[in-house]
Structures are given as structure tokens and as C-alpha cells.
Homo-oligomer: A and B are copies of this chain.
Amino acid sequence: MALRVLGVDPGLTRCGLGVVDVQPNRSASLVAVGVVGSSSELPLSRRLLVISESIDEWLDAHAPDVLAVERVFSQTNLSTVMGVAQASGIVIAAAAKRGLPVAMHTPSEVKAAVTGNGRADKAAVTMMVTRILKLAVAPSPADAADALALAITHAWRSGPGSTSALGELTPARKLWLEAEAKARKNAEKSSRQRR
């Protein structure tokens, strides 16, 4: 009954990939995490091919219900933003080709969701991801932790009340949302009983 989310922090040198299973009661567990990428000395076409082949492998291997990608802004890091945008285009199209819903979240949305602070630094995000997923070792590098944070954020943010932002509702998501609503009701009931 878990929602499986593949989070992607796009980039050419380091593209973070993280898969988590999130239960209706919001508890999340790690399925897979990694970083792919290539040297900036390679031709752009080779570098984009690495991203294209990697995302296809991850989608095949882990069969996520939804893809969550970091929303790229043209305002920041002008020197690398083109490569990031090209990589994100490839990743989004790969998911769309399989009929998967694609969601985008900004870095500050991710920081706010996992740490409670939209301006948290990378160390704080990594620490909270490690804690949320109950990992013995912190995921590294930061791009890997960011991908996991994105995946967690997406599952948490797309709960009841925010589904309209999603646009597309797959049968798996629908079931998950219903189960999450039930879990919430039970939690409220037991908290009332405790009073």
C-alpha cells in the first residue's frame, strides 16, 4: 500500500536519484539511492546519453508510481543551468513515455517539507533525510540526499488537500490517498481517546 516515488536532482556531473516507499501514515523507507553523471570533458551528447540510459534503468529496476523532479530556475547558477535543464528534460520525458505522473518541487519546498525550514542548508536536509528513513549512514553526496528529500517531499505534499496540484491521479495514487485518509482518521480517533 506504499507509494513509491523516484526523486531526481538533475545534473550532468552529478544527477541524484533516490527511490522511497512512503506509507499512508507518512513513514518512509529507502528503496535505492545513487548518483550518476559524467566528466565535463566529455561531449555534451555523451553526457546526456548517460542521463538518458540511467533514468531508463532506474525506472525499469524500481517501477515507481510517480517521478518527482527538482524544478529548475533560470535565475540561479547561469553557468550550469543549461545542463541541468537538458538533463531534467530527458528525465521528465522518460517518465512521461511510460505514462508516469511527473511532479516538480522547488528546493525551498523540499527544505521546508523535510526540515520545517525553507532556507535550511544541505547538512540539515541530509540529517533529516537520514533520520526520516532511519538510515545508519547519511546518504552521500548531497545530490543523493536531495533526491531522497524530493521523493519524501512529494509523497508528503501530495496527500489529501493538495492533490489538485498533481494534475494526474493514477489508480495506485488514488488507493494510497484513500488509505492515508483512513490512517489520519484512526490517528485522530486514538488521540481523542487518549484525552
Contacts and interface: CB of A to CB of B under 8 A. Distances in A.
Q: Which DSSP category, helix, strand, loop or mixed, fits chain A's interface?
A: helix
A45 B91 CA distance: 10
Contacts of A95: 45
B96 A85 contact: no
A110 interface: no
A interface residue count range (under 10 / 10 to 19 / 20 to 34 / 35 or more): 20 to 34
Give the copy number: 2
A182 interface: no
A48 interface: yes
Contacts of A85: 81-82, 85-86, 89
A124 interface: no
A22 interface: no
Interface string A159-170: 000000001100
Interface in A16-32: none
B43 A89 contact: no
Contacts of A49: 93, 96-97
A96 B86 CA distance: 14
A183 interface: no
